[in-house]
Structure 1
Amino acid sequence: MRVPIRPIAEAAVVADAATGPMGEPQRSQYLEAMGLTAWVSRYRLPNALETPRCEWQEAPDEPRQPPAKRLHALLDDANEAAAQAPPQPAAAIDATPTPRAGAPIKRARALLGEPPADEPQPAELKAPPVAVDPPVGSPDHSAEEAPGEALRFTLQVAALEGRWLVLQVADGAPPADARRLLSNLFKAATIETAQPPVFETFRWPLMDDIPAQAPFEEAREGLRAFIEGRRRRGWQPERLLLFGAHDDLERVLEIVEGRSRLLEIPAWCGPALDELIVSADAKRALLPLLAEWREAWHRGASHVEDRAGDDRAGDD
């Protein structure tokens, strides 16, 4: 952790004025606290004075404790602090309610794989549950927030010219015949790209053996962060094409009435590419959608050209 330079510099001046010139150990400690590397010359330049030598005892390197032991120590300190804290008056609790401080402790116990300790809650903080009706048309997330095992799915993600997201539910990249079928579909819709789509793998969860407090919400945040990271590389998602049915993934993407509420873009869900290869009926069902895809692609392309023209005009 970096320590502010100014207070340390002032302390160095005070120490220098009080005790005379600062010794080499103290100077090295101040430089280390300020995040500055102390360089030592290896060779002496011609006609240069010899560097004064000094010897001091260096502190022995203490062995680092494993993460689990450090978490146990933090939990013990937190429990001791909670036991020694004076009881808070009921009037103060009613006047200024504060958030519970046990959430980080529960999270630490979850990381250690320990069951959460039962914590009595003051009666003053308990309020009768209030039933609130969800808005019309909004997905019901009441069952999603129950703690439990994290959702598990693997996606192959690509972006057509950085504009259309193509998602395939699979552990590996689509094979050659599936990519050929995808290319033929886009050609039939007169969607021409300079480069074929390159698929990247997204797996959830990122770390195994960690319980999820809100499985669906955590999966949404992870997928949203993945897409936002690709935005820095030039992606500007306008539409989502999901090949392969996956109930949990559709709930993560919040696909309702042809739109992903997670990404705020139009969305389409259809059969997997390997199913389209062998099913003539599935291919035939896609034909009416090709005209819609063609119009949406060229309409979006005109908007991209307009934005590029505005950017060039602004630069001029």
Structure 2
Amino acid sequence: MTPEPQRLQYLEAMGLTAWTSRYRLPNALPTPVCEWEAAASVDEARRAPGERLHALLDEAAQAQVATPQPAPAEPESRHRPSSGKARALLGDLVLPDEQGAVLEESSSRPVRHSGEALRFTLQVACLDGRWLVLLPGEAPPGGMELRLLRHLLKAAGVVPEQMPAFEAFRWPQVEGLPVEAPLEEAREGLQAFLAGRQQRGWAPERLLVFGEDETLAALLTLSDGHCPLLALPAWQGPSLSELAESAEAKRALWPRMAGWRNAWRADRDPD
């Protein structure tokens, strides 16, 4: 275990400010006893953090050579990086005696190929924070489509206190990042987006999807009225634009909306 003064030296050499309590606060545990380092000299303070860290690593390596210790039961590399790995983090090359270990370690890992990120845009809203509504597409729904959605919900007995505004979720959110698992990373991105909306009171109980999209289908994998990704009961129907233009699509949709009233009331009053 790294002694406290040496740990503070490493942090200071890397340019990180370490705050340590020197006095015991009321009702606080006693501060661990340790030797306090004297203030650094002016010449030492003027040296760049990287240079000071290199010097500390050299001192640690020389101390290990001068006083060899028995090998621990568990590899030390699992607890803290060696001097060579620390130098690599600073931009230096891996030391020659560590190249074999690095190659051996990399060969034992599963090969993961980079790929191209999935690209899609969703319009997302949540009815009273309870029913999640997804619309695939770049453009948000227009006034006619929003009126149609309100009338459909009202006819099905789903009357939220206020119709929410749709917001866009685009993936990837940052261009140029390396991609190893496009589908998994996109799913995690959507889950993180929805988790962040919990601060706004979102607690989805059901999922409504208006419209079909190949990428969205692979993302959600809806099956038998369930969305495994979000762990929610799910429903998918025609897009709002298709419903707005086709009376036949409206008539075909009506039987599929059976049970929405009871589900809305049951989710609101589970008791």
Question: What band does the TM-score fall into relative to the shorter chain?
Answer: 0.5 to 0.7
Query: 1:290 & 1:240 partners in 2: Cα distance?
Result: 13
Deviations 1:132-166 (A, max 9, x none): xxxxxxxxxxxxx8631000011110000111000
Alpha carbons of structure 1 residues 180 and 87: separation in structure 2 relative to 1, 3 Å: closer
TM-score by length of 2: 0.66
Out of 271, 278, 284, the residue aligned to residue 251 of structure 2 is: 284
Query: 2:100 & 2:45 partners in 1: Cα distance?
Result: 45
Out of 142, 151, 155, the residue aligned to residue 122 of structure 2 is: 155
2:214 maps to which residue? Answer: 247
Query: 1:208 & 1:87 partners in 2: Cα distance?
Result: 35
Return the letter of the residue paired with 1:84.
D
Out of 51, 63, 80, the residue aligned to residue 94 of structure 2 is: 80
2:83 maps to which residue? Answer: none
Out of 175, 191, 206, the residue aligned to residue 208 of structure 1 is: 175
Ranges of 4+ aligned residues in structure 1 off by more than 6 Å: 55-58
- Name the % identity: 43
In structure 2, runs of 5+ residues without a counterpart are 1-15, 23-31, 50-87
SS at match of 2:94: helix
Return the letter of the residue paired with 2:175.
D
Out of 135, 160, 164, the residue aligned to residue 193 of structure 1 is: 160
Deviation at 1:232, TM superposition (A): 2.8
1:1-316 to 2 correspondences below 5 Å: 1-6=16-21, 12=36, 15=38, 26=39, 59=46, 74=89, 77=92, 79-81=93-95, 83-85=96-98, 87=100, 102=106, 121=107, 147-303=114-270, 306=271
Return the letter of the residue paired with 1:184.
H
Deviation at 1:202, TM superposition (A): 0.7
User: In angstroms, what is the RMSD of aligned CA positions?
Assistant: 3.5
Deviation at 1:211, TM superposition (A): 3.3
What is the count of residue pairs matched by the alignment? 208
Q: Is the 8 A contact 1:204 1:219 kept in 2?
A: yes
1:109 maps to which residue? Answer: none
Return the letter of the residue paired with 2:129.
G
Query: 2:113 & 2:90 partners in 1: Cα distance?
Result: 24
Query: 2:202 & 2:109 partners in 1: Cα distance?
Result: 47
Deviations 1:183-221 (A, max 9, x none): 000010111111112111111001112231000000000
